[in-house]
Amino acid sequence: MTEAMLKHLFLPLDVGKLALPHRIAMPPMTRYRCGADGTALDIQATYYAQRASAALIVCESVYTDPTGRIGYRAGGMINAHQQASWAKVAKAVHDKGGRIFIQLLHGGRFSHPSLQPGGEPTVSASSAMPPPDTVQIEGGTAVPTLPRALERFEIDRIIKSYARTAALAAEAGFDGVELHGANGYLPSQFLSSNTNLRTDEYGGSIANRAKFMLETLEELAAVRGPEHVGVKISPNFSHHGERDASPKETFTYLAKALDKLGLAYVHIQCAADFMRPVPDTFDPIDLIRPVYRGKLLASGQFDRHSAEKAIASGRCDFIAFGRRFIANPDLPERFRRGAAENAINMETLITEGAPGMTDYPFLEPQVQ
């Protein structure tokens, strides 16, 4: 299937202030190859610059508060030193003509005391239970421990931390930020009924549980302008042991509230084989599209054909290809030419150095 048949994937699209030349985006993917201090290394600038032909790159997540780290050698942007390192990534992508947002993250209970300031317990919406997973710590992996519930004043501090990092990211040259509201991290821990047992205004009703995410987005919009802000959600998958009692009602409420914010886009993570479907499985795009009128980005096991179909039918506006973009730095050109794709090596997703990062081959230059 060549460009002629992938007509909708190659239509331009305005997202916020950006004019995207086509609809083939790269989603955020944490590769745990940063410096131990959360700085981006030169290899990341090279990796993202190689993929600058994406309509939009959403750079891997950075933590916005020292309590928000999800793993050893995951990214952070809370100080000038870290900011300078990520500025090199933004510049490398812009120098190649690309566009780049960066994802803002607080891991909440998906962390470990060894990643916390002073080795303190991890934090979350409430002290419900630790996630049933392992996290990357120095020298290996570890099982998360029971988090403590955030105090009211700490919630304010963390919401402000996202806004501070958004301001740092703007100075560093990023075109915008994506709030990580998906995959069982802190905003999602507030949203889900089994990880949020609070009895104050941030717990209980759906409206109260959605407050943390919505207030954070309002702060981001105030700092950056809503057209420079996106948000990622994952309505039909459960991550790190989260189970919302009524995901359809929760996400319908959330989508209606997001619709009022005038954001650049909402990113729906639809499916991925490393995550578990919620018991009440449904199609998240079918749920969100009728109530959210802004731009929709979708990711989750799309290939060029299913992506073309999703855009042609109006289900979403652009598509992010995760693992395909890791393995194919020139993915849009492969689609354009109807060329085969490199297969991904899952062994090198999270490892050291260039293998699996910057060594996937490009197509040969086209003979004119």
Ligand X SMILES: Cc1cc2nc3c(=O)[nH]c(=O)nc-3n(C[C@H](O)[C@H](O)[C@H](O)COP(=O)(O)O)c2cc1C
CA distance linking residue 169 with residue 163, whole number of Å:
10
The nearer residue to ligand X, 44 or 183, going by C-beta atoms, is 183
- Contacts (CB under 6 A) with ligand X, residues 300-319: 300-302
Residue 153 backbone phi and psi in degrees, to 5 = -70, -25
329 binds ligand X (CB under 6 A): no
Range in contact with ligand X (rule: CB under 6 A) among 85-93, 153-161, 294-302, 304-312: 294-302
Q: Which is nearer to ligand X, 18 or 104 (CB)?
A: 104
Q: Which stretch binds ligand X (CB under 6 A): 91-99, 113-121, 137-145, 322-330?
A: 322-330
C-alpha–C-alpha distance, residues 340 and 54, integer Å: 17
Angle of helix 152-171 relative to helix 80-95, nearest 10 degrees, comes to 40
In the complex with ligand X, which residue's Cβ is closer, 106 or 324? 324
- C-alpha count within 13 angstroms, C-beta hemisphere, residue 274: 7
| Rounded Cα gap, residues 188 and 195, in angstroms | 9
Q: What are phi and psi of 55, to 5 degrees?
A: -60, -40
Q: Check if the beta carbon of residue 247 is closer than 8 Å to that of residue 280.
A: yes
**Active-site residue, from 48, 63, 185, 292:** 185
Q: Which residue's CB is nearer to ligand X, number 51 or number 232?
A: 232
Site string for ligand X, 4-23 (x = CB under 6 A): --------------------
| Dihedral pair phi/psi, residue 62, rounded to 5° | -125, 140
Q: Which two tokens stand for residue 295?
A: 């731009």
Around Cβ 141, how many Cβ atoms within 10 Å? 12
| CA torsion through residues 238, 189, 211, 228, sign | negative
Sheet strands (E) in the chain: 13-15, 18-20, 24-25, 57-63, 75-76, 100-105, 123-124, 135-137, 140-142, 148-149, 176-180, 229-233, 237-238, 265-269, 276-277, 296-299, 318-320
What is the distance between the alpha carbons of residues 315 and 217, in angstroms, rounded to a whole number?
Answer: 24
* Contact status, residue 172 vs residue 164, Cβ threshold 8 Å: no
Q: How far apart are CA 271 and CA 28, in angstroms?
A: 15
Residue 88 or 267: which CB sits closer to ligand X? 267
**What are 163's two structure tokens?**
């806004």
Least CB distance to ligand X at residue 363 (A): 20
Binding mask 162-191 for ligand X (x = CB under 6 A): ------------------x-xx--------
**Known catalytic membership, residue 265:** no
Interacting residue with ligand X among 165, 269, 328, 348 (CB under 6 A): 269
* Residue 248 φ then ψ, to 5°: -65, -45
Please select the residue that binds ligand X; options are 349, 351, 358, 363, rule is CB under 6 A: 349
Residue 9 vs 149, nearer CB to ligand X: 9
C-beta closer to ligand X: residue 149 or 182: 182
Number of residues that bind ligand X (CB under 6 A): 22
Residues 108-167 that bind ligand X (CB under 6 A): none
Residues 24-83 that bind ligand X (CB under 6 A): 27-30, 60-61
Residue nearest to ligand X as judged by C-beta position: 322
Which of 272, 291, 339, 363 touches ligand X by CB under 6 A? 272
Q: Which stretch binds ligand X (CB under 6 A): 86-94, 126-134, 296-304, 310-318?
A: 296-304
Task: Please report, as residue ranges, which positions from 226 to 265 form the binding site for ligand X (by CB under 6 A).
Answer: 232
Residue with tokens 């979403």, as numbered in its chain: 316
- Which spans of this chain sit near ligand X (rule: CB under 6 A)? 27-30, 60-61, 103, 180, 182-183, 232, 269, 272, 299-302, 321-324, 349
Q: Which residues are catalytic?
A: 185
